[in-house]
């Protein structure tokens, strides 16, 4: 493999807390990319547009989980360089959306070195808490993200307390209804999932009629590491949607927990950020 840094001056962002960030993998990545600078989050701050422009950076490679990648990309609106998302986390949903479900670190680096990656502007989901690059989960079911944090950190006390709270909240929390346009069950769902990977908002509704359904969703989140694998209804597509609940709506945005209001609006947008990846239907 040729020295990528000769043609693409770049910085590298890594996060030791992310699923694939071993010291060995980071060292191998640095040898392959020869970055002008490596940012080690959270010890180092995330890069912003001004810093990258001042340093003449052409490419920012991100080797983290989806949550850290989201936080970083939010700081880059208007930057004319390229963002290279690498599978550095547990689920790596953003890397898969950009490079394909079977993406590997070696395969992406080979494509980069041989100039086989295209510049893309995939769609995203606008939320009250900032954009979601991959997906939003809205409703009581979003509290399963708190359990996943404990699993990632191997914190048994956090897992135990968060697990009990997630089961109670998912089973008994106020459901979320699709208000505009009217979609799905009038009584609502325990969780609504939204993404923009097909170029418009796609909505799925997750319900939990009993402890069995709650357990199935928990297994999907903790074992399969994918809430989307749980039982759900396909609700359709639209460019903009408003959801409502009798209580403030819990949100999980690209794997990170946020607290919303009892009425939340989501829209399909195109961020002013350029990614390197395979051309796809969700490009803006």
**What's the pLDDT tens digit per position in 7-37?**
558 999 999 887 777 889 999 999 999 999 9
How far apart (Å, rounded) are the C-alpha atoms in residues 144 and 37? 36
pLDDT > 90? residue 253:
yes
Q: Do 168 and 206 contact (CB within 8 A), yes or no? A: no
Selected residue with higher pLDDT from 281 and 65: 65
Give, for 201, the enclosing helix (H) or strand (E). strand 201-206
How far apart (Å, rounded) are the C-alpha atoms in residues 99 and 85? 9
How far apart (Å, rounded) are the C-alpha atoms in residues 11 and 62? 9
Q: For position 224, what pLDDT does the model report? A: 47
Pairing of strands 250-253, 135-138: antiparallel
Q: For position 40, what pLDDT does the model report? A: 96
**Cα maximum dimension of the chain:** 58
Q: For position 213, what pLDDT does the model report? A: 60
94 DSSP 8-state letter: H
Q: For position 69, what pLDDT does the model report? A: 96
What does the pLDDT look like over 133-192, one tens digit per residue?
999 999 987 766 666 655 555 556 665 666 666 666 666 789 999 999 999 999 999 889
Q: Residue 2: pLDDT band by 50, 70, 90 thresholds?
A: very low
Q: What are phi and psi of 246, to 5 degrees?
A: -80, -15
Structure tokens at 133: 């690059």
Q: Which of 214, 217, 237 is nearest to 229 (CA)?
A: 217
Calculate what percentage of the chain has a pLDDT beyond 70.
Answer: 76
Give, for 205, the enclosing helix (H) or strand (E). strand 201-206
Give, for 131, the enclosing helix (H) or strand (E). none
Give, for 82, the enclosing helix (H) or strand (E). strand 82-87
H helical segments located in 173-246: 211-222
Q: For position 1, what pLDDT does the model report? A: 40
Label residue 184 left, alpha or beta by phi (over 0 means left) and psi (-120 to 50 means alpha): left
Number of H helices, E strands in the chain: 8, 16
pLDDT > 50? residue 210:
no
Q: For position 16, what pLDDT does the model report? A: 85
Q: Residue 218: pLDDT band by 50, 70, 90 thresholds?
A: low
pLDDT > 70? residue 51:
yes
Label residue 263 left, alpha or beta by phi (over 0 means left) and psi (-120 to 50 means alpha): beta
Domains of the chain: 4-116 (3.40.50.10330), 135-270 (2.60.200)
Classify 242 as helix, strand or coil: strand
Q: For position 142, what pLDDT does the model report? A: 74
> Mean pLDDT score of the chain, rounded to an integer?
85
Q: For position 235, what pLDDT does the model report? A: 95
Q: For position 17, what pLDDT does the model report? A: 81
Q: Residue 211: pLDDT band by 50, 70, 90 thresholds?
A: very low
What does the pLDDT look like over 85-109, one tens digit per residue?
999 988 888 999 999 988 999 999 9
Which residues does 154 contact at the CB level (< 8 Å), separation at least 6?
Answer: none
How far apart (Å, rounded) are the C-alpha atoms in residues 197 and 13? 24
Q: What are phi and psi of 274, to 5 degrees?
A: -105, 130
pTM of the model: 0.84
Q: For position 273, what pLDDT does the model report? A: 97
Residue 226: count of CB within 10 angstroms of its CB: 11
Q: Per-residue pLDDT averaged across 55-60, rounded?
A: 96
């Amino acid at each position: 493999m040729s020295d990528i840094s000769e043609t693409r001056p770049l910085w590298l962002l890594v996060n030791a807390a992310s699923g694939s960030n071993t010291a060995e993998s980071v060292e191998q990545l640095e040898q392959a990319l020869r970055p002008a600078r490596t940012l080690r989050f959270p010890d180092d701050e995330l890069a912003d547009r001004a810093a990258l422009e001042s340093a003449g950076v052409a490419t920012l490679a991100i080797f983290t989980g989806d949550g850290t990648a989201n936080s970083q990309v939010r700081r880059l609106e208007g930057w004319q360089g390229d963002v290279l998302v690498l599978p550095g986390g547990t689920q790596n949903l953003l890397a898969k959306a950009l490079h394909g479900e079977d993406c590997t670190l070696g395969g992406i680096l080979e494509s980069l070195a041989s100039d086989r990656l295209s510049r893309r502007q995939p769609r995203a989901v606008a939320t009250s808490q900032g954009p979601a690059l991959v997906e939003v989960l809205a409703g009581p079911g979003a509290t399963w993200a708190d359990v996943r944090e404990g699993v990632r950190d191997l914190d048994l006390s956090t897992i135990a307390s968060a697990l009990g709270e997630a089961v109670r909240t998912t089973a008994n929390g106020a459901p979320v209804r699709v208000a505009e346009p009217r979609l799905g069950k009038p009584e609502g769902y325990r969780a609504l999932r939204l993404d923009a990977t097909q170029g418009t908002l796609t909505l799925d509704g997750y319900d939990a009629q009993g402890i069995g359904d709650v357990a199935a969703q928990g297994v999907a989140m903790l074992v399969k590491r994918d809430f989307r694998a749980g039982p759900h209804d396909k609700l359709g597509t639209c460019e903009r949607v408003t959801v409502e609940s009798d209580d403030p709506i819990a949100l999980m945005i690209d794997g990170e927990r946020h607290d919303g209001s009892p009425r939340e609006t989501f829209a399909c947008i195109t961020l002013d950020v350029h990614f390197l990846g395979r051309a796809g239907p969700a490009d803006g």
